[in-house]
Amino acid sequence: MKEWVIVGGGIQGITVAIHLIEKNIAKATNIAIIDPHDQPLEKWKRMTTRIGMPYLRSPFVHHLSSSPFSLDQFGKKFGGRSKMFLGRYHRPKLSLFNEHCEELLEHHRLKESWVKGHVNGLKKLPKGWSISLETGRSIHAKHVVLAIGLSHQLYIPDILLNEKKKGARISHIFEDQLNINKLHSQITVIGGGITAAHTAITLSERCPGQVTMIKRHPFRVHSFDSDPGWLGPKYMTSFSKLTDYSERRACIHLARHRGSITRELHLKLQKLSNNHKLKIKTMDMSQVSSEKDGSTLLIDEQRQIRHKTKNIICCTGFSPSQPGGRWLKAVIQTYSLPCSQCGYPIVDRSLMWEDHLYVSGALAELEIGPTARNISGAQKAAQRITSSYTATSS
């Protein structure tokens, strides 16, 4: 029996694992991290590399370690803040952040904890849980952390999805089979947020004059995707006092700067537009149709705008439905696990959903708040889980 099983080997799950080891709660040999990919953080690296993200949006204190200045100290090996961090918030280079992650994984020998597989069930034991995999294997653990993200729940607007099903060249930016390097002409990026911005910049620098960015609203410029006050007591005190979880969900929705971009990305987009390397259009698609020549026609009837293109890349985020799929719904039903009307877990302050069953990431957002899905949210979740365990076991 393992001490801990973590379901999900992305930012959230690996952060929990590192905190467990750094706080002397568990060793790598007593942790199993179950994930369908070959390596830890594989999905994170693929997604951020694909869109061409040079710097993280989050500041230097947000990383996977429990030591606040771990990334800052690591950056000194490569020339310090002036070379490795950007702007007043010292946002790290993606390459530096990833190298720091690799150092932590190697130092804590977490690749030895890796179990490649798909979870398809969870069964309560007298002292712990049994986690079943699609291969038929079962792993028993005293404690389980569900660190499941939304990255497999790709969202494409229905009006585009219908044409995609008919064979139109429409893809979500994070589809596994998409190779954007094969796109060379008449490329349209749908979306006005940070993923769309990075993608449009990357493509227009490679294929100048061939890329159009289509957004529904004027650019929303914010340094972060929610106010920094949500990281501490400024907003979290009142949020935590809410006993109606529908009100908590409403707070989260209002707090998030959805579809926003940073100031430097906004300036880059404007420069590319001014230099005629990128076209930027504001339109709300009311009609989409496939043309005989294989192109797709997008129409905004109200603004009387028509846009014809051969390749459409949707940077339209993820479906907000509860992550985990059928197997998690079955577990919820079997053990009557408490959920809000939105389908997300109702957990205690330690993020425990049921005895020795914890959540992190999106599943923890009704307790952690609007930052739950971010790196800072991963830190918060790991701190709460480890602090609670230390307090109850001492």
290-305, pLDDT tens digit by residue? 999 989 999 999 999 9
Task: Read off the pLDDT band of 388 (50, 70, 90).
Answer: very high
Backbone phi, then psi, for 342, in 5-degree steps? -75, -5
φ, ψ for residue 343, nearest 5 deg? 95, -5
How far is residue 364's CA from residue 384's CA, in Å, rounded to a whole number?
11
The answer on 307 and 169 residing in a single domain is yes
**29 part of a folded domain:** yes
Binning pLDDT at 50, 70 and 90, where does residue 89 land? very high
Residue 228 within any structural domain of the chain? no
The average pLDDT across 358-372 equals 98
Q: What's the pLDDT band for 16 if we cut at 50, 70, 90?
A: very high
- The domain boundary, picked from 296, 314, 332, lies at 314
For the whole model, what pTM was predicted?
0.96
Give the pLDDT mean for 31-45: 98
What is the span of the domain harbouring residue 16?
Answer: 2-151+320-393
Domain boundary residue among 273, 290, 314?
314
311: number of CA atoms within 13 Å, CB side?
17
Q: Are 187 and 281 found together in one domain? A: yes
CB 366 within 8 A of CB 346: yes
Q: Is residue 252 part of a domain?
A: no
Provide the CA 62 distance to its chain's centre, in angstroms. Answer: 14
Q: At what angle do helices 42-51 and 194-206 cross, to 10 degrees?
A: 60
pLDDT at 80 over 70: no
User: pLDDT at position 392, please?
Assistant: 84
100, 198: one domain: no
Inform me whether the pLDDT recorded for 266 exceeds 80: yes
Residues 162 and 303 in one domain: yes
Which residues, including other chains, have CB under 8 Å from residue 190's CB and lie 6 or more apart?
A: 157, 160, 196, 214, 312, 313, 314, 315, 316
Rg of the chain taking only CA atoms, in angstroms: 22
Do 58 and 132 share a domain, yes or no? yes
Same domain, 269 and 325: no
The rounded mean pLDDT for the chain is 96
Q: How confident is the model at residue 79 (pLDDT cuts 50, 70, 90)?
A: confident
* pLDDT, mean of residues 313-335: 95
Instruction: Give the pLDDT score at 394.
Output: 62
Kindly state whether residue 193 falls inside one of the protein's structural domains: yes
* Placement of tokens 């940077």 in the chain: 315
> What CATH number does residue 40 fall under?
3.50.50.60
pLDDT score for 171:
98
Q: What is the pLDDT of residue 187?
A: 98
Task: State CA 196 to chain mean position distance.
Answer: 15
Flag whether 295 is in a domain: yes
Considering the domain architecture, whether residues 141 and 168 belong to the same structural domain is answered as no
CA atoms within 13 A on the CB side of 178: 21
Whether residue 18 has pLDDT greater than 90: yes
Instruction: Give residue 290's pLDDT.
Output: 93
The answer to whether residue 241 sits within a structural domain is no
Q: Is residue 350 part of a domain?
A: yes
Q: What are the percentages of helix, strand and coil residues in the chain, rounded to 5? A: 40, 25, 40
| Interval 173-190: pLDDT, tens | 999 999 999 999 999 999
Q: How many DSSP H helices and E strands does the chain contain?
A: 13, 20
Q: Is the pLDDT of residue 82 over 90?
A: no
219: confidence class by pLDDT, cuts 50, 70, 90 = very high
Does 284 share its domain with 380? no
Same domain, 133 and 7: yes
Tally of domains in the chain: 2
pLDDT at residue 77 above 90? no
**Mean pLDDT confidence for 237-250:** 98
- Give the per-residue pLDDT at 41: 98
What gap in Å lies between CA 272 and CA 275, rounded to an integer? 5
Q: Is 75 exposed, middle or buried (0-12, 13-18, 19+ CB in 10 A)?
A: buried
Model pLDDT for residues 197-214, shown as the tens digit of each residue: 999 999 999 999 999 999
- Give yes or no for residue 267 having a pLDDT over 90: yes
Are 210 and 354 contained in the same domain?
Answer: no
Share of the chain above pLDDT 70, in %: 99
Q: Is 80 contained in some domain?
A: yes
Pair 338, 366: CB distance under 8 Å: no
DSSP letter for 55, please.
B
45: exposed, middle or buried (Cβ count in 10 Å: 0-12, 13-18, 19+): middle
Residues 211 and 278 in one domain: yes
| Domain-ending residue, one of 314, 333, 351 | 314
**297 and 374, same domain (yes or no):** no
The answer, yes or no, to whether residue 275 has pLDDT greater than 90, is yes
- For residue 282, pLDDT beyond 70: yes
- What is the percent of the chain with per-residue pLDDT over 90, rounded to a whole number? 95
Average confidence (pLDDT) over 233-241: 97
